[in-house]
């Protein structure tokens, strides 16, 4: 019998799909890890499971308690999903500018949303979460921006899956960074397996990794206003700073050419992966992470 006991068991083991419709140099292969196959629709379901499990095991969060987190949305969905059946309440602090679809999904999964002013950015949402965690009895804020369990979630799951999917024949990893957890954790595992794996980080224009200053961007889920302490910048073997135009152009192409309905951070990572492919030698296997799907952003007219 192939029966899953609950939604939690559906997290991870996502498909790796070879992309063949984009022109690539001869002998260079591009594979996409399709994280929108997770039950909550994004890579962050892995993080949600890890944060809730660790908090309950360590006793920092007890049944009947309240989990409070600053999130642009996908982490919220992952956490709300992970909290199902565990007897805990969830509250998310979300900057107003973020996708309304994500907020609807978080509420559908039982979460309460507190919006914070767009002009205060994620820093405003982080401050609000801290304040609520202190004032609510039994409140706990895992804080994905400071918690080493964030990269660990991917070192334990995403890295090993990619390695096994390709029988260890991974040469390049391309991943976007919001908190930097996905990139750092996955890079950590792959480099431990083979130090020659090249790990490439992707950010939108308006993020700081290439010396830029924080600014508004349409690409959602990636971009840094500061570098969390768990991020291993020594793993930045390359940094691609991708414009919104390129990210959204690639997202449309991925739908038409490959039938893959990817979100803008995936479009951004795809653009970087294609640039990296141009520089790669014959025989190179590149893995790009597609964190979520476009269906989450349809009311932003991303395909028009
Ligand atoms: N893409 C999307 C759509 C996301 O929601 C996130 C998480 N903010 C990321 C990419 C980046 O993930 P991380 O925080 O692990 O860097």
Q: Helices 181-193 and 149-156 sit at what angle, rounded to 10 degrees? A: 50
User: Measured from the CA of 180, which atom of ligand 1 is nearest?
Assistant: 16
79-91 pLDDT, tens digit each: 999 999 999 999 9
The DSSP code for 262 is B
Q: Residue 11 and residue 42: Cα distance in Å, rounded?
A: 9
Q: Is pLDDT of 99 > 90?
A: no
CA of 262 to the centre of ligand 1 (A): 13
Catalytic (active site) residue 265: yes
Which residue has 């971009």 as its token pair?
223
Structure tokens at 200: 């490439």
Q: Is pLDDT of 15 > 80?
A: yes
215-267 pLDDT, tens digit each: 989 999 999 999 999 999 999 999 999 999 999 999 999 999 999 999 999 99
Q: Of 70, 147, 291, which is best to mutate to test ligand 1, by the most ligand atoms within 8 angstroms of its C-beta?
A: 291
The DSSP code for 204 is E
72 lines ligand 1 (CB under 6 A): yes
Confidence of residue 285 (pLDDT cuts 50, 70, 90): very high
Note the helical H segments in 113-228: 121-135, 149-156, 158-165, 181-193
User: Measured from the CA of 179, which atom of ligand 1 is nearest?
Assistant: 14
Q: Residue 24 and residue 219: Cα distance in Å, rounded?
A: 24
Share of the chain above pLDDT 70, in %: 100
Q: Which of 265, 280, 293, 294 is catalytic?
A: 265
Q: Residue 258 and residue 156: Cα distance in Å, rounded?
A: 29
Catalytic (active site) residue 304: no
291 lines ligand 1 (CB under 6 A): yes
Does the interface ipTM go beyond 0.85? yes
CA of 242 to the centre of ligand 1 (A): 15
**pLDDT confidence of residue 296:** 86
**pLDDT confidence of residue 274:** 98
């Amino acid at each position: 019998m192939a029966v899953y006991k609950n939604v939690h068991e559906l997290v991870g083991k996502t498909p790796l799909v070879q992309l063949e419709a984009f022109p690539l140099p001869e002998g260079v292969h591009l594979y996409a890890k399709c994280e929108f196959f997770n039950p909550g629709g994004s890579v962050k379901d892995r993080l949600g499971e890890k944060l809730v499990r660790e908090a309950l095991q360590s006793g920092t969060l007890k049944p009947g308690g309240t989990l409070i987190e600053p999130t642009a949305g996908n982490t919220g969905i992952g956490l709300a999903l992970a909290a199902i059946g565990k007897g805990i309440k969830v509250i998310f602090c979300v900057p107003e500018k973020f996708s309304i679809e994500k907020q609807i999904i978080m509420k559908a999964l039982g979460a309460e949303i507190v919006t914070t002013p767009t002009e205060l950015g994620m820093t405003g949402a982080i401050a609000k979460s801290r304040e609520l965690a202190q004032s609510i009895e039994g409140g706990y804020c895992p804080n994905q921006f400071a918690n080493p369990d964030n990269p660990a979630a991917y070192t334990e799951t995403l890295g090993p899956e990619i390695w096994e999917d390709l029988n260890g024949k991974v040469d390049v990893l391309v991943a976007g960074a919001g908190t930097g957890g996905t990139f750092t954790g996955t890079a950590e595992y792959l480099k431990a397996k083979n130090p020659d794996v090249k790990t490439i980080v992707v950010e939108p224009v308006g993020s700081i990794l290439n010396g830029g200053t924080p600014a508004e961007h349409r690409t959602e889920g990636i971009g840094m206003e500061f570098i969390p302490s768990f991020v291993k910048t020594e793993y930045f073997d390359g940094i691609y700073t991708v414009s919104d135009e390129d990210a959204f152009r690639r997202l449309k192409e991925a739908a038409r050419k490959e039938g893959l309905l990817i979100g803008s951070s995936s479009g951004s990572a795809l653009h970087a992966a294609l640039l990296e492919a141009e520089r790669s030698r014959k025989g190179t296997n590149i893995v790009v992470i597609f964190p979520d799907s476009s269906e989450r952003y349809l009311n932003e007219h991303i395909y028009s």
